[in-house]
Structure 1
Amino acid sequence: MLDDRDRRLLELLQADAGISVTELSEKVALSVSACSRRIQRLEETGHIVRRIVVLDREKMGVPTTVFALIKTAHHTDEWIDAFRRVIASIPEIVEAHRLTGNHDYILKIVLPRVEHYDVIYKQIVRKIELFDVSASISMELLKSGTSIPVAYAH
């Protein structure tokens, strides 16, 4: 069971995984060793999955976001496994979700420019059969982040 200090540690680490244990311990009013033990426990229990670096997409040359909505006529385990392998092999696809409703999947694709979407589209359809693909271009980023709420954690 997590307490308020654990939740605060998780919030702080989400904001900056590179923060020192000394600084963390000051912010949550714990000794450095107690803070370090809590972080280790949060990693061991799976609350902290990994620590990452977030890159600037403009500087990395992929400022454009396209969302591809996919319909398929196939729903077998074999097809889904093949689809997973295809999308895993394309680094521009940064998120993929299976959906309810009118579409089966949505892919978040980051690109140098919108015209590059055709390259990614062709990589996908050459490797796996799809029923329909439509794409929407993000015009403006209104909210972005990797942080999730910690209040619900147990």
Structure 2
Amino acid sequence: MDRLDKEILRLLQEDATMSVNDVADRIGLSTTPCWRRIQNLEKQGIITKRVALLDAQKLDLGMTVFVQIKAGRHDINWLSRFAEHAAGMEQIVEFYRMSGEYDYMLKVVVADMKAFDVFYKKLVGGIELSDVTSSFAMEQIKYTTALAIQ
């Protein structure tokens, strides 16, 4: 990946709706080579998808909760069942298996405490968990989906 590919990625991370013509103009290429580079970045899996980012507050989804979970058991069957159980819950916007004291970290976005309680009951229902702790975000200091491209 060269300097032009990296610049294409920076531009598309900022605005994925930017036309190929605009991207090409900004990096000093003609349209066809720029389009080929974008296609190649997609084919390589570097660009995985293009999405619209939504304002959670304006959608009345004003509560962000970080949920840490200790596994009920540490065997492959439990791990698979839990991953399937949690991955299907639309309120979970990020889901990680972790090292350290807790086995999983979830980022959950809901409307309010009542909605979180409904989510929580569904999360813990039907699957054995050792421990669950939740931390409620009071203020979002920084949010970006853009990766630092070196």
Same fold (TM over 0.5): yes
**Contact 1:66–1:114 (8 Å) recurs in 2:** no
Partner of 1:27: 26
Shift of 1:98: 1.1
Q: Which amino acid aligns with 2:107?
A: K
Where do residues 2-41 of structure 1 align in structure 2 (5 Å cutoff)?
2-41=1-40
1:17-40 per-residue CA deviation (whole Å, 9 max, x = no partner) reads 100111100111000111000000
CA distance in 1, matches of 2:55, 2:8: 25
Partner of 2:116: 117
Partner of 1:45: 44
Q: Which amino acid aligns with 2:134?
A: A
Q: Which amino acid aligns with 2:100?
A: G
Where structure 2 has 5 or more consecutive residues not aligned to the other structure, the ranges are none
Shift of 1:115: 3.0
1:110-134 per-residue CA deviation (whole Å, 9 max, x = no partner) reads 0101332111111011121101101
1:51-108 per-residue CA deviation (whole Å, 9 max, x = no partner) reads 1110111122211100111112312111111111111221001111111111111110
Partner of 2:77: 78
CA distance in 1, matches of 2:51, 2:75: 34
The number of residue pairs the alignment matches comes to: 150
Q: Which amino acid aligns with 2:109?
A: V
Deviates more, 1:36-45 or 1:68-77: 68-77
Q: CA RMSD in A?
A: 1.0
**Contact 1:72–1:104 (8 Å) recurs in 2:** yes
CA distance in 2, matches of 1:15, 1:127: 41
Name the TM-score, length of structure 2 as normaliser.
0.96
Where do residues 139-154 of structure 1 align in structure 2 (5 Å cutoff)?
139-151=138-150
Q: Which amino acid aligns with 1:19?
A: M
CA distance in 2, matches of 1:48, 1:114: 36
**Contact 2:87–2:95 (8 Å) recurs in 1:** no
**Following TM superposition, where does structure 1 have runs of at least 4 consecutive aligned residues deviating by more than 3 angstroms?**
none
Name the TM-score, length of structure 1 as normaliser.
0.94
**Contact 1:86–1:127 (8 Å) recurs in 2:** no
